[in-house]
């Protein structure tokens, strides 16, 4: 395949009028007037931007399926839908459940990655984001309090082994008993994220010093930033090794606050996520998340008591919301939804940018309204 006449978003974070050639699912050449064989399929991207496939490292489900279903069917449905909306790399995210359930999910992901991870037109599953159960009951959000427990490295390790050593993110509340020791043991096995926490600035600073490097859904399920108590946000902001997630659906975080965090953390660190639940891609109604009923109306998903419960929006729509409603430049928004998450979970060597040798994943969007014109995964059209 050869993509011609498009404005291509390259690894340096800038657009350039170049052609891109793909072979055997990989990007084989980038430049002007590139020769290709006569049988090469040509896609004319005139009046379009060509950007890398997006990478969502925090999503629970979509199209009535959830990662916690623990089945090949659920994972395949998620991978198919996400590819259709330009999200070509995903990290299915678990909820707070007992070890037996989490192990079942881990095994399902391991099996999928072995046998089904290159299905034509489907997003690539890179592993697991383990959001529970090592969190604070006081900041549980939509997590099920029945299964919350203190950090347990041995339990985590067993689940990680069951996943094929693919738990790429693991959340903890650093103020809980055993959290610091957990960081000491697990920091070289996974990327540790602070989440669903009541921790103050000093506790978070110590957690980052010990090796935690991520902050889950900034502002949500954590103490607020104030001038006398900067909390997790303040501790993350001053540590350049820490990557913060932001849900840019226009519901979880006020647009001005998103723009402020973009200015604080910059386009090199900020990571956009969807935190999508199984209602994503479906009409308004009542659904389920982590064993609890959720009501979805528009972009908003809540428990019966009004607690926000993930989002009903995919990452591409979140990225467009950031551009159109939150004053984040398109180029920087692309970095926050492709390069940065891929780097955070250790897969930037294969995805996350348009670079020779990487997976041929592209989203081709119309310049006029930034709508998707075509998605390409591993050099093949999606929904063609």
Q: Where are the alpha helices (DSSP H) in the chain?
A: 72-84, 99-115, 153-162, 179-186, 201-210, 231-237, 255-265, 315-325, 330-337, 339-344
Residue ranges at the known binding site for substrate: 142, 220-221, 228, 252, 308-310
Q: Give which of 254, 256, 252, 314 is closest to 280, Cα–Cα.
A: 314
Residue ranges at the known binding site for Zn(2+): 131, 196, 217
Q: Which of 56, 171, 249, 275 is catalytic?
A: 275
Report the 10 Å Cβ neighbour count for 235: 26
Tracing tokens 């060597």 back to the chain, one arrives at 349
Return the percent helix, strand and coil in the chain, to nearest 5. 30, 30, 45
Question: What is the DSSP-derived secondary structure letter of residue 337?
Answer: H
Q: Where are the beta strands (DSSP E) in 248-303?
A: 271-273, 285-289, 292-297, 300-302
Task: Record the tokens describing residue 123, joined without a space.
Answer: 């997003």
Residue 275 among the catalytic residues:
yes
CA distances from 129 to 101, 169, 214, 277 (A): 15, 5, 12, 14
Q: Give which of 134, 186, 124 is closest to 342, Cα–Cα.
A: 124
Residue ranges at the known binding site: 131, 142, 196, 217, 220-221, 228, 252, 308-310
Residues assigned a catalytic role: 275
């Amino acid at each position: 395949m050869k993509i011609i006449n498009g404005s291509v978003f390259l690894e340096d974070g800038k657009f350039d009028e170049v052609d891109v050639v793909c072979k055997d699912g990989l990007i084989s050449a980038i430049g002007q007037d590139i020769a290709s064989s006569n049988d090469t399929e040509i896609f004319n991207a005139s009046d379009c931007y060509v950007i890398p496939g997006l990478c969502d490292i925090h999503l629970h489900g979509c199209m009535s399926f959830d990662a916690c279903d623990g089945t090949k069917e659920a994972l395949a449905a998620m991978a198919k839908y996400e590819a259709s909306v330009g999200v070509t790399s995903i990290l299915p995210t678990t909820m707070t459940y007992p070890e037996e359930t989490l192990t079942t999910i881990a095994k399902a992901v391991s099996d999928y990655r072995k046998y089904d991870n290159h299905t034509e037109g489907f997003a690539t599953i890179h592993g697991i984001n383990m959001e529970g159960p090592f969190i604070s009951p006081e900041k549980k959000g939509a997590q099920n309090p029945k299964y919350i427990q203190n950090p347990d490295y041995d339990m985590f390790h067993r689940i990680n082994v069951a996943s094929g050593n693919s738990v790429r993110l693991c959340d903890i509340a650093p103020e809980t008993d055993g959290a610091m020791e957990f960081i000491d043991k697990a920091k070289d096995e996974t990327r540790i994220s602070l989440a669903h926490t009541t921790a103050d600035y000093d506790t978070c600073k110590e957690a980052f010093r010990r090796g935690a490097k991520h902050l889950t859904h900034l502002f949500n399920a954590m103490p607020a930033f104030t001038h006398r108590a900067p909390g997790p946000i303040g501790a993350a902001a001053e540590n350049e090794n820490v990557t913060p997630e932001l849900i840019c659906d226009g519901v979880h975080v006020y647009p001005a606050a998103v723009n402020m965090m973009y200015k604080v953390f910059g386009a090199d660190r900020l990571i956009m996520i969807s935190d999508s639940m199984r209602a994503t891609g479906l009409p308004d109604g009542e659904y389920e998340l982590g064993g609890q009923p959720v009501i979805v109306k528009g972009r908003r998903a809540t428990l019966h008591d009004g607690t926000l419960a993930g989002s009903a929006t995919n990452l591409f729509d979140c990225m467009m919301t950031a551009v159109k409603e939150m004053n984040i430049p398109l180029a920087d928004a692309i970095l926050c939804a492709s390069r940065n998450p891929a780097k955070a979970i250790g897969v930037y060597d294969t995805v996350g940018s348009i670079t020779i040798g990487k997976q041929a994943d592209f989203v081709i969007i119309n310049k006029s309204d930034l709508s998707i014109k075509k998605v390409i995964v591993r050099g093949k059209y999606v929904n063609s």
